[in-house]
Amino acid sequence: MPKKKLREVSGIKPGDEVLIEAHQGELIIKKIYSVEEALTMPTIAIGTPETIERDIEEEREMQENLTIEEH
């Protein structure tokens, strides 16, 4: 695929800041968003550290119970 088409598909425009990770046999290119861009993005979750920790603990307990039930 041509570079321009790859940029368009990924939403990266010329001049955008990117982070390039090089691994054996692959390159991973990640866009670095500005504060303004990040603030215009839709909210995907709301929570305090306490509620997030509680949710993680509840999920851990549920997964543990499912594992016990399977065995």
Beta bridge partners of 31: 18
Mean pLDDT by 10-residue block, N- to C-terminus, for the chain (71 residues)? 84 91 93 93 89 94 89 71
Host H or E run for residue 40: helix 35-40
Please report the pLDDT score of residue 40 as a whole number. Answer: 95
Please report the pLDDT score of residue 24 as a whole number. Answer: 95
pTM above 0.85, yes or no: no
Other C-beta atoms within 10 Å of 49: how many?
7
Other C-beta atoms within 10 Å of 20: how many?
8
